[in-house]
Amino acid sequence: MDKNIAIAYPETLAFSLKMQNEEFGQEMKTLSMIKLYELGKVSSGTAAKVLGIPRVAFLDILSNYNVSIFADADELEADFSAVKSRF
């Protein structure tokens, strides 16, 4: 069962962003999923499902918002070092 969230915002906000109301709503939904992913609260798969897009498309969108697909740079470096040490 899907739930809805209502957010009150000034009528001028969407207009100032040069967006139609529907486009603004989708942008808010996308931004919330990006932030939840960035904070490690949801997986990329969950975020993609909420947005109704393929996971790869969600990962591609992250670059538009300067969000890394990797959870943590230190974690990535540790993984890289572990792989590198095997060779």
pLDDT of residue 78: 72
**Could you report the per-residue pLDDT of 39-50, keeping only the tens digit for each?**
999 999 999 999
Taking the mean position of all CA atoms in its chain, how far away is CA 38? 7
**Could you report the per-residue pLDDT of 26-38, keeping only the tens digit for each?**
999 999 999 999 9
Per-residue pLDDT for 52 more than 80? yes
pTM of the full structure? 0.77
Per-residue pLDDT for 75 more than 90? no
pLDDT of residue 72: 64
Q: Which H, E and C letters describe 27-54, residue by residue?
A: HHHHHHHHHHHHCCCCCHHHHHHHHCCC
User: How many whole angstroms separate alpha carbon 61 and alpha carbon 11?
Assistant: 27
